[in-house]
């Protein structure tokens, strides 16, 4: 097991800086997910940790040892790729044991490690099959087993579920989480799917344009984003944003959306934002679950408004509703029995206890 530390890590491709001097500390046994849109630098960072990409600046440390110039085979890491990279002419057992056989491990030790990994991954009955006789999920389990048998210091996963269908991705997420609970190895996992990041990670690293926007637990990122980018990227559907300004009314503070719409803040939010009163370059951020149908008994801080719905999406236990607020596209989550209809009106409420105010110029959450 090992800590992994990145210090001022830089990667240049000609004149393009793909990774811009990032710092990150990954603790022993921690499961850290790097997430972000395509081109944000997450896979490049992972490949530099693996030694598959030469770094342009900074340091990579594994267990306090600088490994910048250490070959991949000597870093004691195991990597699971997007494509399974299994040898088609070998059985599952032979694929999983290949690395151990190259290192001349005793047959008894190989059999023990392969057997244990197969038990953890529930593929014991597949050991004599060849890859062509396996489903996509089974092949991914074999690829994971090949990594597990090596008992490395660090597991690296590079978008391992992106080739699977939606249902199988959900199953494999659960399997990967179970494996980490059993095999407590330091894990760095790359994905563009924020749901994977939220469900798997001890901590999530949100990357954008070669820099780290924020690091935190899934709950921290969801409820306390530091930037508009993180607020928008984490959560599905995404957070709603609408331009606003603040107004003072006697001892109350209101969020003014338009001439017709103004929401009075609850006391604790008013105390936080009072110093911003009068600033016109603001965005109000509300997640869809905080734009709900108006009910008889609402929590203090939930303020009513009228919405003219454009589209509804019945999801069974909830319905997504889409409407405009002063020209901004909005999404809410309402009770399936709320009477939401395409093109119809709906009495709704905004939960300002969970509001965010964002500086429209800097993108920082205030």
Q: What is the per-residue pLDDT across 11-57, written as a single tens digit (0 to 9) for each?
A: 999 889 999 999 999 999 999 999 999 889 999 999 999 999 999 99
CATH 3.40.50.300 domain range(s) in the chain:
4-233
Q: Across all residues in the chain, what is the average pLDDT?
A: 90
Judge whether residue 82 has pLDDT over 80: no
pLDDT score of 355 more than 90: yes
pLDDT digits (tens, 9 = 90+) for 97-113: 998 898 889 999 999 99
The pLDDT tens digits for 178-220 are 888 888 899 999 998 888 999 999 999 999 999 999 999 999 9
Class of domain 240-359 as given by CATH: mainly beta
Q: What is the pLDDT of residue 280?
A: 64
Angstrom distance (rounded) from CA 287 to CA 221 = 13
Cβ count within 10 A of residue 157? 26
CA 366 – CA 359 distance, rounded (Å):
7
Which of 239, 292, 284 minimizes the C-alpha distance to 265? Answer: 284
Percentage above 70 pLDDT, the chain = 99
What's the pLDDT at 332? Answer: 96
Quote the pLDDT of residue 172: 82
Please state, in angstroms and rounded to a whole number, the distance separating the CA atoms of residues 153 and 186.
Answer: 7
The predicted-structure confidence for 136-183, as pLDDT tens digits, reads as follows 888 888 988 888 888 889 999 998 888 778 887 888 888 888 888 888
Q: Which CATH class is domain 4-233?
A: alpha beta
Note whether 181 and 188 are within 8 A (CB).
no
The predicted pLDDT at position 18 comes to 93
Region(s) of the chain under CATH 2.40.50.140: 240-359
The pLDDT, as a whole number, for residue 201 is 94
pLDDT category at 128 given cuts 50, 70, 90 is very high
Q: For residue 76, give Cα distances in angstroms to 51, 109, 160, 178.
A: 11, 18, 20, 22
Which pLDDT does position 343 carry in this prediction? 95
Cα–Cα dist 289/320, whole Å: 9
DSSP state of 209: T
Q: What is the pLDDT of residue 109?
A: 92
| Predicted local distance difference test score (pLDDT) of residue 342 | 94
Residues 6+ apart with CB under 8 A from 149: 96, 97, 99, 100, 110, 113, 114, 117
Whole-number Cα distances in Å, 321 to 286, 312, 336: 14, 5, 10
Q: What integer is the mean pLDDT of 310-326?
A: 95
How long, in residues, is the chain? 366
Q: Is 11 helix (H, G, I), strand (E, B) or coil?
A: strand
pTM, to two decimals: 0.88
The confidence score (pLDDT) of residue 167 equals 81
pLDDT in the model for residue 212: 96
The predicted-structure confidence for 217-251, as pLDDT tens digits, reads as follows 999 999 999 999 999 999 889 999 999 988 887 77
How crowded is the C-beta side of 185, counted as CA atoms within 13 Å?
A: 23
Burial of 20 (0-12, 13-18, 19+ CB in 10 A): middle
End-to-end Cα distance, the chain? 39
Mean pLDDT within 254-270? 88
The count of C-alpha atoms lying within 13 angstroms of the C-alpha of 358, restricted to the half-sphere facing its C-beta, is: 25
- Residue 173: predicted pLDDT: 87
Q: So what's the pLDDT on residue 253?
A: 87
Give residue-wise pLDDT tens across range 71-80. 998 898 988 8
């Amino acid at each position: 097991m090992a800590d992994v530390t990145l210090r001022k890590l830089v990667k240049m491709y000609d004149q393009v800086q793909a990774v811009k001097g990032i710092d990150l500390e990954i603790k022993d046994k921690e499961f850290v997910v790097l997430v972000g849109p395509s081109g944000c630098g997450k896979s490049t960072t992972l490949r530099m940790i693996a030694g598959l990409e030469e770094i342009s600046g900074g340091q990579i440390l594994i267990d306090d040892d600088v490994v910048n110039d250490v070959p991949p085979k000597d870093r004691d890491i195991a990597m699971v790729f997007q494509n399974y990279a299994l040898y088609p002419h070998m059985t599952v057992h032979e694929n999983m044991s290949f690395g151990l056989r190259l290192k001349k491990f005793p047959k008894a030790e190989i059999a023990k490690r392969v057997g244990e990994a197969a038990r953890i991954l529930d593929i014991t009955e597949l050991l004599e099959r060849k890859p062509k006789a396996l489903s996509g999920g089974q092949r991914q389990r074999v690829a994971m087993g090949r990594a597990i048998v090596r008992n490395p210091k660090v597991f690296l996963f590079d978008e391992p579920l992106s080739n699977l269908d939606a249902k199988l991705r959900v199953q494999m997420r659960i399997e990967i989480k179970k494996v980490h609970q059993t095999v407590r190895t330091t894990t760095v996992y790359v994905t563009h799917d924020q749901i994977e990041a939220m469900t798997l990670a001890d901590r999530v690293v949100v990357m954008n344009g070669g820099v780290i926007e924020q690091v935190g637990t899934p709950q921290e990122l969801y409820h306390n984003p530091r930037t508009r980018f993180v607020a928008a990227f984490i959560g599905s559907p995404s957070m709603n944003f609408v331009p606003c300004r603040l107004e003072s009314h006697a001892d109350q503070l209101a969020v003014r959306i338009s001439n017709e719409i103004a929401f009075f803040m609850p006391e604790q939010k008013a105390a936080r934002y009072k110093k911003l009163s009068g600033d016109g370059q603001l965005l109000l951020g509300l997640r869809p679950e905080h734009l709900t149908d108006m009910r008889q008994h609402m929590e203090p801080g939930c303020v009513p408004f009228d919405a003219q719905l454009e589209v509804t999406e019945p999801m069974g236990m909830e319905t997504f509703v889409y409407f405009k607020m002063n020209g901004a596209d909005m999404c809410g989550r309402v009770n399936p029995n709320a009477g939401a209809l395409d093109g119809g009106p709906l009495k709704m409420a905004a939960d300002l206890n969970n509001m965010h105010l964002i500086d429209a110029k800097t993108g920082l959450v205030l």
